[in-house]
Amino acid sequence: MKVALVDGGGTNIGSVSYALERLGASSRLTADPADILAADRVILPGVGAAGAGMCRLRELGLVETLAQVQAPLLGVCLGMQLLFERSAEDGGVATLGLVPGEVVGIPGGPDLRVPHMGWNALTGLVEDPLLAGIEEGDRAYFVHSYAAAPSEHTLASTVHGQPWTAVVRSGLRWGAQFHPERSASVGARLLRNFLMEVDR
């Protein structure tokens, strides 16, 4: 199986690659449109700001490429946020538009730290091949200041002051707001499912 890791400049690319290696899967870090379009699975990692992330993808000519991907595509953390239509970060950024909806800032408060950082429960799970073997209340590791409100495309939520989308799907595009590469057995199961259970 050919797994393309999109080289969008995310600092979590190495840890995602290692997580895949632990599952016995090799991946290719690439910004080559031909490599990405030929892959059996495409993963868009990301850490940082939406504006910089989209700028990098535009500079590489990958915005149209990602829209053309016919294989299963998984966005991770910022990579998930970039799948949506728009992010409120950096004063408002048009993103890839592959998943309906908008990413907004998480409101802080006296007892509510932003960024949301740490282990949090997954709730409201919807049956989907990506979540096979993951149970209600299982915990995953989050680091983010922006998030998408739950919608009809949400497969799992998490609560930080209010519910936020933790896993999303639109067609063959999935996203995980948490870091599967840092989420122990839950993250490993999600990545294994993406490699073995989801289909074209």
Q: Tell me which residues are annotated as active site.
A: 77, 179, 181
CB 178 within 8 A of CB 155: no
User: Could you tell me the sign of the dihedral formed by the alpha carbons of 142, 144, 149, 152, in that order?
Assistant: negative
**CA angle (14 as vertex; 130, 159 as ends), nearest 5:** 45
Q: Report how far Cα 184 is from the mean position of its chain's Cα atoms.
A: 16
Interatomic CA distance for residues 121 and 110, integer angstroms: 21
CB 27 within 8 A of CB 3: yes
Amino acid at 150: P
Interatomic CA distance for residues 108 and 194, integer angstroms: 33
